[in-house]
Amino acid sequence: MIRPPLGLYIHLPWCVRKCPYCDFNSHALRDGLPEKAYVDALLADLRQDLAWVKDRRLHSIFLGGGTPSLFSPDSLARMLEGVQGLVPWDKPIEITLEANPGTVESAKFRAFRASGINRLSLGVQSFQDGKLTALGRIHTAREALEAIDTARSAGFDNFNLDLMFGLPGQSLNDALSDIDTAIAQNPAHISYYQLTLEPHTLFAKYPPRLPQDEHIWTLQNACQEKLAAGGFKRYEISAYARDGFQCRHNLNYWRFGDYLGIGAGAHAKLTDPERNAIHRIWKIRHPDHYREKAASPARIGGRSIIRESDKPLEFLMNTLRLKEGFTPSQFERRTGMDFAQIAPSLEPLLVDGLLKRAGERITCSSRGWNFLDTLLERFIPA
């Protein structure tokens, strides 16, 4: 086992209004953003986490939420300067900001770019006003297009568009229209994923009528074909990119890399080669409590060490999401286990055609990707 690349996730938990499908740790903004106090807390939290950094440099930074673009460019610049003063960075480093397409946030894009942020992820979800209303989004299709134009003029040549399919009342033409519009904006990356009803969300309590599975399957296949024809290569189950623009931060997750997590409710995965252990750590969730305790051990909401019997499942549920899959040596470096311990369980999956092997590399087949959850069930410890 060796220490893998290290990313940093920063959680900024406020949004204008919580979307009914969202199960993230996000909170509707009521009394104004406590920007200075929260940035101070983030940097205090990171100082406490420095023992995990060792001699590594940050591979990537991802600002997620919530709606991080609600923060002022000055606050984000101060935060990033503070991070760089504590942990050295790779050069060049990828720094992603999740942004709301609304006009208020898009006006800040030039200042965000000047602060060092070099990748935007725009939560568009759909380019049709009726679908946006059904999803509880507060922006319009016109505002989404304007935000894309603003981002490009601000110097962002690397931006992602988040789109959903399987929406209430969505026809095949609706779905294809969203993809056509997205491709026409010439983004570097498109994240395309199915709307699901997650527990403890408003949609779980008051579920909308979603399309039948067979119809969703039709939408997905048709739109994947259109994305491929438009030059977007599917490199992960829900991620499509032009050559050279895969999300470095998310690739590190899926390759079973390490990441620090600062902010209310943020999670971390950290490798400890000396003890042949992989730690998961998460911070307390409520933003007010987090700010009060960020400089102390009380900021930790919980921690665990991945059991040896769980390491294969944890590794495979990440790496098999990627088209590139994994190699036996990667498994051994990232888990500290001998590949021979999982080889017998992989063999019937290779025989059944759910997995493929080319040289040393093991990947999902197209059928295996479609039934990944079923495939992974074979690695759940008894």
Place of tokens 């990707």: 369
SS3 of residue 261 by DSSP: strand
At residue 292 the predicted structure's pLDDT band, cuts being 50, 70 and 90, is very high
The chain-wide mean pLDDT, for the chain, equals 94
Place of tokens 């390491």: 311
Q: Which of the listed ranges 26-35, 126-135, 371-380 does the model predict with the highest average pLDDT? A: 126-135
Provide the H-helix boundaries in 89-140: 103-106, 109-114, 129-134
| pLDDT per residue as tens digits for the range 194-219 | 999 999 899 989 999 999 999 999 99
List, in order of start, the domains of the chain with CATH numbers. 6-252 (3.20.20.70), 309-379 (1.10.10.10)
SS3 of residue 132 by DSSP: helix
Q: Can you say whether the dihedral through the CA atoms of 246, 55, 265, 331 is positive or negative?
A: positive
| pLDDT per residue as tens digits for the range 311-362 | 999 999 999 999 999 999 999 999 999 999 999 999 999 999 999 999 999 9
At residue 107 the predicted structure's pLDDT band, cuts being 50, 70 and 90, is confident
Instruction: Give residue 103's pLDDT.
Output: 65
| pLDDT per residue as tens digits for the range 238-280 | 999 999 999 999 999 999 999 999 999 999 999 999 999 999 9
CB neighbours of 143 closer than 8 A, spacing ≥ 6?
A: 101, 102, 103, 106
Query: Which tokens is 210 given?
Result: 């979603």
Which is nearest to 308 in space by CA: 282, 278, 328? 278
At residue 123 the predicted structure's pLDDT band, cuts being 50, 70 and 90, is very high
Query: Does residue 382 register a pLDDT over 80?
Result: no
Q: What is the DSSP letter of 212?
A: P
Which residues sit opposite 194 in a β-bridge? 165
Query: Does residue 65 register a pLDDT over 80?
Result: yes
Instruction: Give residue 22's pLDDT.
Output: 87
SS3 of residue 79 by DSSP: helix
Average pLDDT on 284-295 reads 96
Query: Does residue 104 register a pLDDT over 80?
Result: no
**Cis ω for the linkage preceding 13 (within 30 of 0):** no
Q: Can you say whether the dihedral through the CA atoms of 68, 70, 73, 77 is positive or negative?
A: negative
Percent of the chain at pLDDT exceeding 90 = 86
Distance from C-alpha of 352 to C-alpha of 113, rounded to nearest angstrom: 49
CB 321 within 8 A of CB 363: no
Instruction: Give residue 18's pLDDT.
Output: 86
CB neighbours of 123 closer than 8 A, spacing ≥ 6?
A: 98, 99, 100, 101, 137, 162
At residue 23 the predicted structure's pLDDT band, cuts being 50, 70 and 90, is confident
Phi first, then psi: what are they for 67, rounded to 5°? -125, 90
Query: Which tokens is 92 given?
Result: 């060049």
Place of tokens 């208020």: 104
CB 148 within 8 A of CB 105: no
